[in-house]
Every structure is written in structure tokens, then in C-alpha cells.
Amino acid sequence: MITITDRAAAEVKRIVTEQNLPGATALRLGVKGGGCSGFSYTLGFDDQVGEIDQTFETNGVKVVCDPKSFLYLNGTQVDFEESLMGRGFKFGNPNAAKSCGCGESFSV
């Protein structure tokens, strides 16, 4: 399962409302090859859910993940942080053996 913290859920809902996205819009998480540690996280909005996609509802946010990415993301917690250094979504991935300094890529 992939979970979304209260702060991340509030930010996702704010973006959906601000961009006037359809009600069926889901937060799509994934991974792709690249980044300084081997894999990079992908994050976006999608109103199309495939038959084989993994779907979750957490804190009022529908989360969708393709099966291949789910192998790397199962158990991940998505948070949202605001600090003097910036703001953005952060991934707490228990499957990552190491992460880069910016937290946007990982290796297994």
C-alpha cells in the first residue's frame, strides 16, 4: 500500500481545486530509470485508471500506481514539506537501499 500524509493530502486537494481538475482525478505515482541514484520518482494527476493499476484511497486522495512501479513503491509514504529551503512532496520509501541528497531518486 502507498499512503499519503495529512499535509500531502491537503496539498493534493488544493492543487486539484486550484486547477479545476475532474472529480475522478487520481494522484499517479511511479518510478522511472534515471536520477543520480538509479530510479526517479514520478508524480502527476491522471483521470484514467488501467485495469491492472494498483489503486488506494488514503486521506481522501485516490492514489494510482502501475504494477511495475508498485514493486518499488509498496509501503511508501508521501509527505509534503515546506521550509526555508523550498517546498515539495517527499517520499519515505522502505524499499530504497539509498537515496540521493535531494530525495528525488533512489536505488534498491
- Walk along the chain (108 residues) and give the pLDDT tens digit of each residue: 999 999 999 999 999 999 999 988 999 999 988 655 578 889 999 998 999 999 999 999 999 999 999 999 999 999 999 887 778 998 988 887 656 554 554 556
The CATH number of residue 78's host domain is 2.60.300.12
Range of the domain at 102: 3-107
Q: Which residues contact 64 (CB under 8 A, 6 or more apart)?
A: 26, 27, 28, 29, 46, 49, 53, 54, 55
Domain count, the chain: 1
Q: Specify the pTM.
A: 0.83
pLDDT at 17: 94
Q: For 45-102, where are the alpha helices, taking DSSP H only?
A: 67-73
Q: For 22-92, where are the alpha helices, taking DSSP H only?
A: 67-73
